[in-house]
Amino acid sequence: MTSRKTEHETPAGPDLSRRGFIKSWGAGAVAVTVGGGYQAQAAEAEEQPLAAEALSRVELDVNGRPHSVLAEPRWSLLHVLREELGLTGCKPGCERGECGACTVLLDDVPHYACQVLAVEAEGRRIETVEGLLDGETLSALQAQFVKEDGLQCGYCTPGQVMAAEGLLRRNPDPSPDEIRSAMSGNLCRCGAYAHIFNAVAAAAKVRKG
């Protein structure tokens, strides 16, 4: 014989009353909160530096000079250049491959240093904005950035210069459209784009001359 449902029963079953549902929901919320705290602690633990014996020796060719660095496998090239080698011309911006402030050349090709692991750069020719200098003398490209006012705050300028250098090495006589396309991966919050494009075009003429 089938029993009738009472007014306290729900479609989910007679044991799930309104009061029981609220209690179970509250317990679930506590569990999620506790679980979230555990995850936060685990993430913090992952950020702790590795022991010295867990580091890897990385051999890097930077601006024509060899460097031997003990690095964690997860370290980006940006981190190693700045924190281990003191080459601070390479700027951290978004650190997720969107702004271009950390642009360097790998074998003459522009790359975001925040998106390249230091261990991936072994055996490649790395060039930073410091490597374009001749002693204390600016390169023709750097000088044109100054002459054409291709900067305002200057934070993005090293990345802009390296992107332009990569362009001029593969295309010594770029058109205005080619310049804009090559520089499109580098953001300037000050909006100095017209001056940047003029600087690149002027540098191309100087280098040809």
Over residues 156-176, the pLDDT tens digits come to 999 999 999 999 999 999 999
Pick the closest to residue 125 from 164, 89, 77, 167 (CA basis). Answer: 77
Residue 46, in any domain of the structure: no
Q: Which residues contact 25 (CB under 8 A, 6 or more apart)?
A: none
Please say if the pLDDT value at position 5 is more than 50: no
Burial class (CB in 10 A: 0-12, 13-18, 19+), 32: exposed
Is 132 in contact with 165 (CB distance < 8 Å)?
A: yes
Q: Is the pLDDT of residue 92 over 80?
A: yes
> Is 147 within a domain?
yes
Residue 104: phi, psi to the nearest 5? Answer: -130, 170
**Confidence band, pLDDT 50/70/90 cuts, at residue 54:** confident
Please name the residues in contact with 170: beta carbons below 8 A apart, sequence gap of 6 or more: 108
Determine, yes or no, domain membership for 185: yes
Q: Does one domain contain both 82 and 126?
A: yes
pTM of the model as a whole:
0.75
- Where does a domain end: 131, 156, 190? 131
Q: Which comes out higher in pLDDT, residue 16 or 77?
A: 77
- Domain membership of residue 113 (yes or no) is yes
Same domain membership, residue 204 and residue 149: yes
Rounded average pLDDT over 56-65: 97
Contact assessment for residue 124 and residue 61, using Cβ atoms and an 8 Å cutoff: yes
Q: How many domains does the chain have?
A: 2
> What CATH number corresponds to the domain at position 137?
1.10.150.120
Q: Is pLDDT of 49 > 90?
A: no
CATH of the domain at 57: 3.10.20.30
Domain end residue (candidates: 79, 106, 131): 131
- Indicate whether 115 belongs to any domain: yes
Domain range for 180 = 132-208
Residues 112 and 138 in one domain: no
Last residue of a domain, one of 88, 114, 131: 131
Q: Are residues 139 and 76 in the same domain?
A: no
DSSP, collapsed to helix, strand or coil, labels residue 179 as helix
Same domain for 185 and 124: no
